[in-house]
A and B are shown apart, each in its own frame.
Chain A
């Protein structure tokens, strides 16, 4: 069966959904609307209100089902490795829930408070949230988690928990597990999926490396161990070499293309994060617009859709906190183009 016949429905669906994505101009307009009555962005008008009264948790609760509904529509038309990758991508929200649960249990937060912080994943949830919420401590929570699809993560977390009881290491261990699984699934799908997921992994690894080494001052051995083993353009040898460098500037200078260009002159980890995020969006946009009958288009769409929802959330939050448009622009990534700062790109 040819790709055209195999992915005809998926391709049409993704193309239809792609019409909902927000352009930079849409985001700019939303930021500028701050003074007057805000105009709802296309595709979000019915689901998410942007009025100043809307509470952030409510917006989060509205966004998640919307994202997951679209994902379930796309999932219907794929099978095998492609479906596995798309489905696994949604696990990131459950992983976030698990981290909230573990953190909450470690500091003894009440089940009710914790529940309000968890995203409602509907049919995408694969853990007994109620039972986990009612667990009396982390040990019990991990025992229960060992009975679910996250048994590997639970075992790994238990090791970290037994040895260090350190939230940071536990979080890192969970994330590493997730991204490792994502890389494995992307490899099974094909080159485009590898490129897109690889761009995410490179970003995560590079940002983590900078944070671990120069914000938390971890020794090179520990910092390297906490990174994701599967990277894309920044390979193992390069990661080992980068870990031994002292200071952010030498690390950025020693990066391979295209990161050397992209990150030239970056002054902080958050700036690096924003530029790399923008780069990932660029990769996703190129796949979405430049490929046909390709299952990775669906993943690219989901990456971009999540970006939009996060940007809208950032705008609402910015307005709520009374931030000026320039700051909101930075928060939404409008200050750089395809990874590079706007002025430089121009």
Chain B
């Protein structure tokens, strides 16, 4: 609960033919995270799964695109059955590629239909302008000996450039209608230069407009023709879609089977960078939670028989940073796990602060936002989040419960301080007492955090780090002596033992800092030592004072309520209740959000920054679904 699961390093040696089966078994068991080992790279330089991985990647890409084309969901991988061999995979990819060719062709046809529809619609719109073009349209249908005359469309961006370009060949381009996508233009010039301008016209996306003979006499006919063409395109689109639906029905089962086959191939492909080999042997190593080693062993024996060699050892001292962190937490703790991970993943062997974080966060929230009514409102909001943010439900519910409990202790109900009797005290009745209580909470929190730092360093084998620096054992003594000095200052002056403790620990911290920076120049070292020591002392003092906000916000809560009631008191009955309700809503939303952030700030900056490195990496075992990387 307070430390990550103990991990073991497992090395698996198998014959190359059985490597895919081994990978599939490992994925089925879901307890093995592969790792790259330099030692193995040297001894076993080959990467036997590389080609297989490329096949799987290619087939996967084809399958994904086909499923997307048919708008089919991805099938869940099937744990039963054998992984396909390279030849089967190649066959599967060939078939998938062939089907994708069909799908891609349909996509392209649909895209063309879409463009054609757009073009025809544009023509429909421009028909009126066409009719109004100030030339004899019959000219456009005649073949001329010297004059090349053509009507067409092109993208507006290309108009100016094409006009200039055809101008070089004695042509003239006159636009007569423009929209966002197209320009209709009349192109005319000497016939003998036609060949000169054709490449430029093609590069500019010039599309000649077919003008029916009837245009000059019967524009209605042209409209009808365009409508007919549109209908034909629409019909073509429907046909393509119907072909797609038909193909989907025919292929659905085959695609499901293909997805399952690929699902069985993926684990081996995912080992492409970590599975090494030479000749007929393959080896993969990685991390397994110690409690799952037996399960792994049984699973491998069941799948491979005796044809494998499994070596298990605990992590070596130098490997601590490479060992992944596996933490197991109850479901209700998941939102707190996310908040802790937001700061960082615990390093292997490091204290996992999730439970401590959950308890202290909820308590601090309640202390700063203590109100029975507000707490119950927050609690009642929790079930509403079940659909949208199910993981946040326990977090919100616990914050609500904590606020309600502190509300009972403070005797506060929707800001009314006289309806229920406080079980402890109303914050505003004795603010100094509240501030003292907050400070004591802070002192306890900092003492606990510093103790955890010492514990974490000892667990890493860093005895010097646990003892000497400002956040180690000496720092703890310094903090305690500081507290003693502060306490006794108000009580007739500090005793010599407190002074001695303070001076000794301060000197020890300075000495350690000087030793760490022994390679720097004397003046620079002196400066560093002074600044670092000053920072250590200030850090303890400011950290402790920072917890005063626990009391400050509980006072603020009451003060805000008083402000609301003062405003409400100036109004009539209806106005009074409207103000009270809106004021409470304001307090709930605004102050609630601020308190949540403040509690998180105290956790991260005053707590985690003292003892929690958070530079570990999460245990991500090889699984049938998802990516273990």
Residues of A within 8 A of B (CB): 111-112, 131, 134, 136-137, 139-140, 143, 156, 159-160, 163-164, 169, 172-173, 218-222, 224-226, 229, 236, 240, 243-244
Partner-contacting stretch, out of B31-39, B163-171, B423-431, B509-517: B163-171
Asked if B160 is an interface residue, CB under 8 A from chain A, the answer is yes
Verify B205–A221 contact, CB threshold 8 A: no
Residue-wise, chain B 29-63 has the 8 Å CB interface mask toward A (1 for contact) of 00000000000000000000000001001100100
Verify B111–A143 contact, CB threshold 8 A: yes
How far, in angstroms, from A169 to B198 measured CA to CA in the complex? 13
Verify B204–A219 contact, CB threshold 8 A: no
Nearest 5 Cβ contacts at the A-B interface: A225-B165, A159-B205, A134-B61, A225-B200, A222-B199
Verify A243–B58 contact, CB threshold 8 A: no
Verify A240–B168 contact, CB threshold 8 A: yes
How far, in angstroms, from A77 to B5 measured CA to CA in the complex? 45
How far, in angstroms, from A134 to B63 measured CA to CA in the complex? 12
Verify A225–B97 contact, CB threshold 8 A: no
Contact of B169 among A137, A143, A173, A220 (CB under 8 A): A220
Task: Find residues 583-612 in chain B having any chain A CB closer than 8 Å to their own CB.
Answer: none
Partner-contacting stretch, out of B83-91, B99-107, B302-310: B99-107
Asked if B162 is an interface residue, CB under 8 A from chain A, the answer is yes
Verify B203–A222 contact, CB threshold 8 A: yes
Q: A136-B100, A159-B155 known; 7 other A-B pairs, CB under 8 Å?
A: A139-B108, A140-B107, A163-B203, A173-B203, A220-B196, A221-B166, A240-B167
Asked if B240 is an interface residue, CB under 8 A from chain A, the answer is no
Closest CB in chain B relative to A196 CB, distance in Å: 24
How far, in angstroms, from A112 to B164 measured CA to CA in the complex? 43
Asked if B202 is an interface residue, CB under 8 A from chain A, the answer is yes
Residue-wise, chain B 153-195 has the 8 Å CB interface mask toward A (1 for contact) of 0010000111011111101000000000000000000000001
Neighbouring A residues of B204 by C-beta, 8 Å: 225
Asked if B467 is an interface residue, CB under 8 A from chain A, the answer is no
Verify A224–B165 contact, CB threshold 8 A: yes
How far, in angstroms, from A149 to B32 measured CA to CA in the complex? 41
Neighbouring B residues of A143 by C-beta, 8 Å: 107-108, 111
Question: Could you list some 22 contacts between A and B, CB below 8 A?
Answer: A134-B61, A140-B107, A140-B108, A159-B205, A160-B202, A169-B203, A173-B203, A218-B199, A219-B196, A221-B196, A221-B200, A222-B165, A222-B197, A222-B200, A224-B164, A224-B165, A225-B200, A225-B203, A229-B161, A236-B164, A240-B164, A240-B167
How far, in angstroms, from A286 to B590 measured CA to CA in the complex? 56
Neighbouring B residues of A164 by C-beta, 8 Å: 202-203
The winner among B167, B196, B200 for most chain A CB atoms within 10 A is: B200
Neighbouring B residues of A139 by C-beta, 8 Å: 104, 108
How far, in angstroms, from A140 to B171 measured CA to CA in the complex? 37
Verify B101–A136 contact, CB threshold 8 A: yes
Which residue of B has the minimal Cβ distance to A155?
B155
The winner among B61, B111, B162, B203 for most chain A CB atoms within 10 A is: B203
Size of the chain B interface, CB-CB below 8 angstroms = 31
Query: With A134-B58, A143-B111, A164-B202 in contact, is A221–B197 under 8 Å at CB?
Result: yes
Neighbouring B residues of A173 by C-beta, 8 Å: 203
How far, in angstroms, from A156 to B154 measured CA to CA in the complex? 11
Interface of B is mostly: helix
Closest CB in chain A relative to B272 CB, distance in Å: 14
Which residue of A has the minimal Cβ distance to B161?
A229
Closest CB in chain A relative to B196 CB, distance in Å: 4
How far, in angstroms, from A107 to B195 measured CA to CA in the complex? 28
Closest CB in chain A relative to B106 CB, distance in Å: 12
Verify B199–A219 contact, CB threshold 8 A: yes
Query: With A220-B169, A244-B168 in contact, is A225–B162 under 8 Å at CB?
Result: yes
How far, in angstroms, from A58 to B354 measured CA to CA in the complex? 46
Verify A163–B160 contact, CB threshold 8 A: no
Closest CB in chain B relative to A245 CB, distance in Å: 11
Neighbouring B residues of A229 by C-beta, 8 Å: 160-161
How far, in angstroms, from A163 to B61 measured CA to CA in the complex? 29
Neighbouring A residues of B200 by C-beta, 8 Å: 219, 221-222, 224-225
The winner among A224, A243, A244 for most chain B CB atoms within 10 A is: A224
Neighbouring A residues of B108 by C-beta, 8 Å: 139-140, 143
Neighbouring A residues of B61 by C-beta, 8 Å: 131, 134
Verify B169–A163 contact, CB threshold 8 A: no
Closest CB in chain B relative to A289 CB, distance in Å: 35
Neighbouring A residues of B171 by C-beta, 8 Å: 221
Neighbouring A residues of B205 by C-beta, 8 Å: 156, 159-160, 163
Neighbouring A residues of B101 by C-beta, 8 Å: 136
How far, in angstroms, from A222 to B198 measured CA to CA in the complex? 8
The winner among A131, A219, A221 for most chain B CB atoms within 10 A is: A221
Neighbouring A residues of B197 by C-beta, 8 Å: 219, 221-222
Closest CB in chain B relative to A105 CB, distance in Å: 12
Neighbouring B residues of A224 by C-beta, 8 Å: 161, 164-165, 168, 200
How far, in angstroms, from A243 to B196 measured CA to CA in the complex? 13
How far, in angstroms, from A307 to B314 measured CA to CA in the complex? 54
How far, in angstroms, from A3 to B558 measured CA to CA in the complex? 50
Neighbouring B residues of A220 by C-beta, 8 Å: 165, 168-169, 196
Neighbouring A residues of B168 by C-beta, 8 Å: 220-221, 224, 240, 243-244
Verify B199–A136 contact, CB threshold 8 A: no
The winner among A134, A160, A222 for most chain B CB atoms within 10 A is: A222
The winner among A111, A136, A172 for most chain B CB atoms within 10 A is: A136
Verify B104–A137 contact, CB threshold 8 A: yes
Verify B100–A160 contact, CB threshold 8 A: no
How far, in angstroms, from A229 to B161 measured CA to CA in the complex? 7
How far, in angstroms, from A169 to B205 measured CA to CA in the complex? 12
Neighbouring B residues of A112 by C-beta, 8 Å: 54
Verify A226–B203 contact, CB threshold 8 A: yes
Verify B104–A140 contact, CB threshold 8 A: yes
Which residue of B has the minimal Cβ distance to A112?
B54
Verify B165–A221 contact, CB threshold 8 A: yes
How far, in angstroms, from A131 to B58 measured CA to CA in the complex? 10
How far, in angstroms, from A159 to B181 measured CA to CA in the complex? 13
Neighbouring B residues of A163 by C-beta, 8 Å: 202-203, 205
Closest CB in chain A relative to B179 CB, distance in Å: 16
Neighbouring B residues of A172 by C-beta, 8 Å: 203
How far, in angstroms, from A131 to B68 measured CA to CA in the complex? 13
Closest CB in chain A relative to B462 CB, distance in Å: 32
Task: Find residues 71-116 in chain B having any chain A CB closer than 8 Å to their own CB.
Answer: 97, 100-101, 104, 107-108, 111
How far, in angstroms, from A139 to B115 measured CA to CA in the complex? 14
Closest CB in chain A relative to B107 CB, distance in Å: 7
How far, in angstroms, from A229 to B97 measured CA to CA in the complex? 42
Closest CB in chain A relative to B203 CB, distance in Å: 6
Which residue of A has the minimal Cβ distance to B97?
A136
Closest CB in chain B relative to A73 CB, distance in Å: 25
How far, in angstroms, from A8 to B582 measured CA to CA in the complex? 49
Which residue of A has the minimal Cβ distance to B168?
A220
Closest CB in chain A relative to B46 CB, distance in Å: 18
Which residue of A has the minimal Cβ distance to B189?
A221
Closest CB in chain A relative to B83 CB, distance in Å: 22
Which residue of A has the minimal Cβ distance to B196?
A219
How far, in angstroms, from A61 to B205 measured CA to CA in the complex? 37
How far, in angstroms, from A134 to B100 measured CA to CA in the complex? 12
Closest CB in chain B relative to A274 CB, distance in Å: 28
Neighbouring B residues of A236 by C-beta, 8 Å: 164
Verify B203–A219 contact, CB threshold 8 A: no
Closest CB in chain A relative to B7 CB, distance in Å: 32
Closest CB in chain A relative to B351 CB, distance in Å: 35
Verify B169–A219 contact, CB threshold 8 A: yes
Neighbouring A residues of B160 by C-beta, 8 Å: 229
Which residue of A has the minimal Cβ distance to B108?
A139
Closest CB in chain A relative to B601 CB, distance in Å: 27
Closest CB in chain A relative to B210 CB, distance in Å: 17
How far, in angstroms, from A224 to B169 measured CA to CA in the complex? 11
How far, in angstroms, from A23 to B204 measured CA to CA in the complex? 43
How far, in angstroms, from A134 to B104 measured CA to CA in the complex? 13
Neighbouring B residues of A225 by C-beta, 8 Å: 161-162, 165, 200, 203-204
Neighbouring B residues of A218 by C-beta, 8 Å: 199
